[in-house]
A = this chain, B = another copy of it.
Amino acid sequence: MVYLTRREHFNGAHRLYNPAWTAEKNFEVFGKCANPNWHGHNFDLYVTVKGEPNADTGFVVNAHELSRIIRREVTDKLDHKNFNLDVPELQGVQPSIENLVKLIWRWLVPHLHGCQLHCIRLVETENIYVEYYGEV
């Protein structure tokens, strides 16, 4: 069993705020992340799959094929987008990186064949990242 990780990128804008709260409470909890005119990040996405290396290719998965799947199923839906406004699956959901990794997991799982999704890691800044292993 070998684990292979592929990195992809996307940039996006978002705003953290809870519409059930006052502006004051939102700023108290989310700080500058609640600014009404949005802010954004460069996101680094690391997708880890696991499996047995294939005898003919030596690959757990063809990394170029994996890259194409991640772009089609994930980064094309998020890149240069506003997560609050442009992503139907995030309507009514706080677009925190915690909720993003869970969504990315759901998007990817049906499209991986011959290997198993192990971890989604999403890096928001050099100081903060999250990981999701499909645990519920």
Binding site for B on A (CB under 8 A): 1-9, 11-14, 16, 18, 20-21, 29-33, 35, 37-42, 48, 53, 56-60, 62-64, 67, 79-82, 85-86, 93-96, 98-99, 101-102, 125-133, 135-136
Copies per assembly: 6
With contacts A130-B60, A135-B1 taken as known, whether A38 is within 8 angstroms of B35 at the C-beta atoms is: no
In the complex the two chains form, is B95's CB within 8 Å of A58's CB? Answer: yes
Of all chain B residues, the one with the shortest Cβ separation from A16 is: B58
Q: Are B57 and A126 in contact (CB under 8 A)?
A: no
Contacts of A81 in B (CB 8 A): 35, 37, 39
Name 8 extra pairs, CB < 8 A, besides A9-B125, A29-B57: A3-B131, A4-B98, A6-B127, A13-B39, A33-B80, A53-B98, A59-B98, A63-B128
Across the interface, which residues of B come within 8 angstroms of A6, CB to CB? 127-128
25 A-B Cβ contacts within 8 A?
A1-B132, A1-B133, A2-B101, A2-B130, A2-B132, A3-B131, A4-B128, A5-B128, A7-B128, A9-B125, A13-B13, A13-B40, A18-B56, A18-B57, A29-B57, A29-B62, A35-B81, A42-B42, A42-B126, A53-B96, A53-B102, A58-B94, A58-B95, A58-B98, A58-B99
